[in-house]
Amino acid sequence: MRAGEIRIASEEVRANYIKTVVLLVLMAACIVGLSWLLGDLLGDLELGLTIGGIVCVVVIPLELLFAKFAVIHLTGCKRANPNNLQQRRIIQLVEGLALSAGLPKVPDVYIMNTDIPNAFAAGWGPDSAMVAVTQGLADMMDDQELEGVIAHEIAHIVHRDVMVCQIAASMQTAMLVLAEVIQWVGYFVAIFASTRGRSDRDDDNGKEVIAGLLVYLLIKPVTWFISTILTMSISRKREYAADAFAVRLCSYNEGLARALEKLSGDAPRYNGEIADALGGNAVAPMYIYYPLDSLFSTHPSTKERIRRLRNMV
Residue 199's contacts (CB-CB under 8 Å, 6 or more residues apart) are none
Could you give the 3-state DSSP secondary structure of residue 127? helix
Q: What is the pLDDT of residues 47-74, one digit of tens each?
A: 989 999 998 888 888 877 777 778 888 8
Cα separations (Å) of 247 from 93, 138, 153, 155? 15, 20, 12, 10
Q: What is the pLDDT of residues 186-197, one digit of tens each?
A: 777 766 766 654
Question: What's residue 167's pLDDT?
Answer: 78
Can 12 be counted among the known catalytic residues?
no
Question: What's residue 211's pLDDT?
Answer: 57
Question: What's residue 224's pLDDT?
Answer: 81
Could you give the 3-state DSSP secondary structure of residue 120? strand
| Maximal C-alpha separation, the chain | 82
pLDDT above 60 (res 9): no
pLDDT above 80 (res 237): no
What is the spatial distance between Cα 28 and Cα 25, in angstroms, rounded to a whole number? 5
Mean residue pLDDT of the chain comes to: 80
- Residue 142 or residue 224, greater confidence: 142
Q: What is the pLDDT of residues 248-287, one digit of tens each?
A: 899 888 999 999 999 888 666 666 677 777 777 667 778 8
**DSSP string for residues in 65-97:** HHHHHHHHHHHT-EE--TTSHHHHHHHHHHHHH
> Which is nearest to 235 in space by CA: 176, 296, 150?
296
DSSP one-letter code for 312: B
Highest mean pLDDT among 53-62, 128-137, 220-229: 128-137
DSSP one-letter code for 251: T
Q: What is the pLDDT of residues 145-173, one digit of tens each?
A: 999 999 999 998 888 777 777 777 788 88
Torsion of CA 22, 24, 30, 32, to 10 degrees: -100
What is the spatial distance between Cα 187 and Cα 192, in angstroms, rounded to a whole number? 9
Is the separation of the CB atoms in 253 and 309 below 8 Å? yes
**DSSP string for residues in 135-173:** HHHHHH--HHHHHHHHHHHHHHHHTTHHHHHHHHHHHHH
- H or E element at residue 226: helix 203-250
- Residue 274 or residue 110, greater confidence: 110
Question: What's residue 3's pLDDT?
Answer: 45
- Among candidate residues 63, 147, 153, 239, the one labeled active-site is 153
Radius of gyration of the chain (CA): 23
Sheet containing 108-112: order of strands: 78-79, 108-112, 130-134, 119-122
pLDDT above 70 (res 110): yes
pTM greater than the 0.85 cutoff: no
Cα separations (Å) of 146 from 141, 254, 266, 269? 5, 11, 15, 21
Q: How confident is the model at residue 296 (pLDDT cuts 50, 70, 90)?
A: low
